[in-house]
């Protein structure tokens, strides 16, 4: 030890160490949180027994779940591989008194295609629910983004007879009014020539001050960041999900998660992978909050896996 170091008082050293520790703690506390699964997956619903257009191959895919005014949780899902004429898709509904309960109660077909609403035959899919000023709003796609609304979250009525904006499919709507004064709608956009690597699928976003519109004519492109897998090259351009936690935005490309300070600008690498062994085992993630705690929901869809929609608790650390 040199003479200068020997003259440093021990109390000064302890004080310096305390300042450094406090600075390190503050820095860690300022870091954006990262999502992690915090428990096992529980199956909420399986293949529904349709009252019409039933087949042995029906299965739930893109969906949303929410708490209605009657105190029950409702889950509305697109059902594919039905016997409905046309594209063979419709919306089905379940309910439960508890979000995390296994085996929700079937409520029956919620919506099938209506020509008077300018639907494509047999193609109503990918519902997405938000609330605003005490009302429930439900978006879904069929020749664009259609909108329904409800005072109680149980009985819905159509907002007009045409789509409220043009889009491909699989819409997610983010309330960004606190930051930008706008709602942001993200959706899957198949476009000839946009990206051969993803079989010409990308993600675009439109904005509006009100859910009913008008929505922006200009659509911002937000290309997939996760490299496309063999055999399913457009999977990361499907079912976009963006949520905000604290001052950060989190974008789910299936179960790969990216973070940004800007909801319309994204780059990599991902901050989390919530399914490292098989990132395509469960798809179309949604986040539902109950009593301040987040839960991740996704549908299970391939191989010998049980068909249905599953839930796992989610924590941010």
% of residues, the chain, pLDDT over 90: 90
DSSP 69-135: TTS-EEEEEEEES-S-STT--EEEEEEESSTT-SSPEEEEEEE---GGGTPBTTB-EEEEEEEETTE
Looking at residue 4, its pLDDT comes to 40
pTM, to two decimals: 0.90
Q: Where do the domains of the chain lie? A: 1-31, 32-316
Q: Give per-residue pLDDT as tens, 258-293.
A: 999 999 999 989 999 999 999 999 999 999 999 999
Q: According to the model, what pLDDT value does residue 278 have?
A: 94
| Placement of tokens 């909420």 in the chain | 44
Name the residue among 31, 28, 37 with its Cα closest to residue 252.
37
Class of CATH domain 32-316? mainly beta
Q: Is 288 helix (H, G, I), strand (E, B) or coil?
A: strand
pLDDT, tens digit, 9 for 90 and up, residues 45-101: 999 999 999 999 999 999 999 999 999 999 999 999 999 999 999 999 999 999 999
């Amino acid at each position: 030890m040199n003479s200068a170091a020997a003259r440093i008082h021990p109390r000064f050293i302890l004080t310096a160490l305390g300042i450094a520790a406090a600075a390190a703690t503050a820095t860690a506390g300022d870091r954006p949180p990262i999502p992690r699964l915090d428990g096992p997956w529980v199956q909420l619903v399986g293949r529904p027994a349709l009252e019409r257009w039933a087949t042995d191959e029906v299965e739930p895919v893109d969906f949303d779940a929410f708490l209605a005014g009657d105190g029950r949780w409702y889950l509305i899902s697109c059902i594919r591989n039905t016997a409905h004429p046309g594209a063979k898709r419709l919306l089905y509904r379940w309910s439960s008194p508890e979000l995390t309960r296994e085996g929700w109660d079937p409520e029956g077909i919620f919506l099938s295609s209506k020509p008077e609403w300018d639907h494509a035959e047999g193609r109503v899919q990918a519902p997405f629910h938000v609330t605003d000023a005490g009302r429930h709003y439900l978006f879904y796609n069929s020749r664009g983004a259609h909108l329904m609304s409800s005072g109680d979250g149980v009985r819905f009525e159509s907002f007009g007879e045409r789509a409220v904006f043009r889009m491909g499919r699989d819409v997610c709507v983010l309330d960004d009014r606190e930051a930008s004064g706008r709602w942001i709608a993200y959706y899957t956009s198949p476009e000839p020539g946009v990206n051969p690597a993803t079989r010409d699928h990308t993600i675009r976003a439109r904005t509006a001050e009100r859910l009913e519109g008008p929505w922006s004519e200009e659509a911002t492109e937000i290309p997939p960041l996760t490299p496309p897998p063999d055999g399913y090259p457009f999977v990361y351009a499907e079912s976009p999900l963006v949520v905000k936690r604290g001052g950060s935005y989190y974008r789910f490309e299936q179960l790969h998660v990216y973070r940004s300070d800007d909801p319309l600008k994204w780059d990599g690498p991902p901050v989390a992978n919530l399914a490292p062994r098989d990132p395509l085992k469960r798809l179309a993630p949604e986040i539902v909050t109950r009593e301040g705690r987040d839960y991740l929901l996704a549908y299970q869809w391939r191989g010998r896996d049980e068909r249905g929609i599953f839930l796992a608790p989610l924590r941010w650390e």
